[in-house]
Every structure is written in C-alpha cells, then in structure tokens.
Amino acid sequence: MKITDLKCAIIGQNPTVRITTDAGICGYGQAESAKPYLKPHVLFYKQYLVGEDPTNVERVMLRIRRMASFKPWGSAVSAIEMALWDIAGKAAGVPVYKLLGGKVRDSVLVYNGGVRFPMKGHTPEDYAENMALMKASPEKFAIIKQAIGFHSGMAGKVPDFFYGEVVGGAPHGNRGLLTERGLKHVIACVEAMKSVLGDEVGLALDCGPGWTVPDTIRLAKALEPYNILWLEDTVNGDYNPYVLADVYRDITLSTSVPIHTGEQIYLRQNFRELIEKQAVNIVGPDPEDVGGLAELKWIAEYADLHGILMAPHGVFDGLIGLAGLVHAAAVMPQNYIAFEYPLGKPDWWYEIVEGLPNPIVQDSRITVWDRPGLGVELIPDKAEKYLRDEDRDFFDG
C-alpha cells in the first residue's frame, strides 16, 4: 500500500487531514479549532509522504517529525500521525488501540473540557453559580476544570488584581505579581466553587500562564485544605514555546497540591526534564500538538515510570481528535486520570461524522468502541456543503 495524496480542509474551524492510498483506504486526522491557519503547514509535508507505506507509521513519521516544533508545526505533524494510524487500523481490520498495544480499560474517564456555561462575571457568586450549572450537566462529570487568574478575565475585570498593565488582544497575555486583594479574590472564588461541588465532583484549576513563582506557591498553600485536583499552567503553558522544568520543580516541591502542565509541548524529548526531574505531578500533552497518538502513549508510560500522572489536554480537538483521544487513553497505564473532552463546533459536526456513541459521555465516561481504525468517518454527502470552495476536491480520490 502506498500513500497517493495528502489533503487538508478547514471544516468549521478544525484543520482536517485526509490521507489517500492506492488501496482505496483513506485516513482522517484533525488539528485544533484554534488553528484554522494550519492548512499550509500540513500540506508542506506532502512531498515527504506520497509513495510511502502508511501502515509503517513510525517509518513515515521519522521522515517528518524532526521538521517540526512547538505550535503550529508540531500540530500539523500530529494530525498527519493520527490519519496514518486510522489507515493502519482499517488496513488491519482492527481498532487503533489494538495497534498501540491493546486496551487497559473498556471506558475512559473525561472531564468537562468543551462543555462550558458562560460566566456572568468574575465574583465568587458567579463562580458558584457556574459550578452549579456544570454539576447539573447531563454528562455527570466526575471532574470539572475551571479557568481562574490569568487564564480567566480576572486580570481585566477585577480592580487592582495585579501589579501590571492589563494587556488585551492575544490570548493570555497578562503576567505579573498579584496584589493581596487579587490573590484573596482568586482564593474566594475557589472556595465558592468547592462549596457547590463538595466532595462529589473533583475541581481542577486552569490558572495561567502568567503567575509568578511566589504567587503560585502562595495560592497552592492556601488551597491545600480543599483537595484541588491540580493547578494547571501557572507560570507557563499554552502558547509559550519553552518548558521551565526547574521553575515548576520549585513550585511542586513547595506544596501538596498537584501541579500540572504540558499542553503546549511538542515531542517526548521536550517532556524529558519535566518527567526526570519530577518537576510536576501531572503532565497533560495534547495529541494534536505533541506529535500524535503513539507519542502521547510513550510520554504516559515514561511519566508512569517516574510516578507522574497523565491528564491529556484536548478541548479544541474536534470529533476526529476525540476518537484519537479515546484510543490513546484506552492504552495508557494506570497513571491515566482523564482527558479534556472536546466538542464538535459548530453543532453540525455531529451530522457529518458517523461512528460516535449516542450519548457520547455517560457518567463522565466514554465506552471504547471496536470499529477498525479510529472508528469514526466523515460522511461526504453531508460534509461537502460545509467545505470551502478551495477544498471542493477534499473527498476526491
């Protein structure tokens, strides 16, 4: 079997990859909806793929993996890797999890991710009201992650929140030392959320980036009585193309609250210091940024050897990315906690994909399905009307 073409279409906002072969089998991969500009990055790699055997996934990846980096190039490589596994599974007549070593669990735990309710404001009362809505969502999430601090609108909406000038525009651009009032405000909002969730639902906090080390330590120590599941991306994360393992280690050693990072990191090599130095308690790579599904599993296993937990990112990964996350989570060792549940956006994505369970999430879990490949397919007759004019040939070949 040989690869005959690599295509990429922006469907909704998700860059969607389709790899075709001379055996009539095609595979799909996807990148985050936050990257609708990614198409040229994906198509750059076509010259290195055509003519290769897609079932030799690692051999094909070796041709392109080194020619990438932190976002966005690593995102393009990741989407291609996902599509290769889809082809390999279809060719072998088995689900992707079988090719990744076989499943450890029959269902995978997820947390809210894309399931959100608009915040009315940034007061403790607003956070408590929002948690009541989240707790009542039909998915019955066992874990809810909520944005606070510099990952929320607090910097611009809470008076005298930090010693710094408020920066607008690019996402998560604020950084600086919190005022005493600002720190107390964050703590009060967390207390309000815990008053609603109690010990029935776990609370994780998406914090930054933007926190200083002293503020992160002060926050973590103040929250120790509340059994917070993790503090995510405090000093670093998201769009930062560096890791800061030594900085995270200082924070992690100072508190009993688990510290989490990793969604922006590309490849196992860039997780090495975080893991070997035990700089964090939890890593959270995104399969659509880290290099793909096998890379995600490799990092989970290496983290497990060092007593570090795994909670993958995935909020923007779309429905094909959701399928990839299910297969990857099914094969991870027992350090796996849960992955961040992505939604199909716009809602018509659910009309153009077949193979997902209905409902997808029950009691915070997704049952692992057994169809070949990723087990989900785009429906050309229904998807074509959402293609841009430049992508009208996406389903050809």
Q: Could you tell me which CATH number the domain at 3-94+378-391 has?
A: 3.30.390.10
Three-class SS state of 392? coil
Digit-coded pLDDT (tens) for 214-249: 999 999 999 999 999 999 999 999 888 999 999 999
pLDDT band at 293 (very low <50, low <70, confident <90, very high): very high
Rounded Cα gap, residues 159 and 162, in angstroms: 9
Contacts of 395 (CB under 8 A, 6+ apart): 18, 378, 380, 383, 384
- As a whole number, mean pLDDT of residues 10-16 equals 97
Every domain of the chain with CATH number 3.20.20.120 lies at: 99-372
Mean pLDDT value of segment 189-202: 98
Query: Which CATH class name applies to 99-372?
Result: alpha beta
Residue 76: pLDDT above 90? yes
Rounded to the nearest 5 percent, the helix, strand and coil shares of the chain are 40, 15, 45
DSSP string, 218-273: HHHHHHGGGT-SEEESSSS-TT-S---HHHHHHHHTT-SS-EEE-TT--SGGGGHH
Can you tell me the mean pLDDT for 86-114? 98
Query: pTM higher than 0.85 for the full model?
Result: yes
> Is the pLDDT confidence value at 64 over 90?
yes
Residues spanned by CATH 3.30.390.10 within the chain? 3-94+378-391
| Residue 168: predicted pLDDT | 84
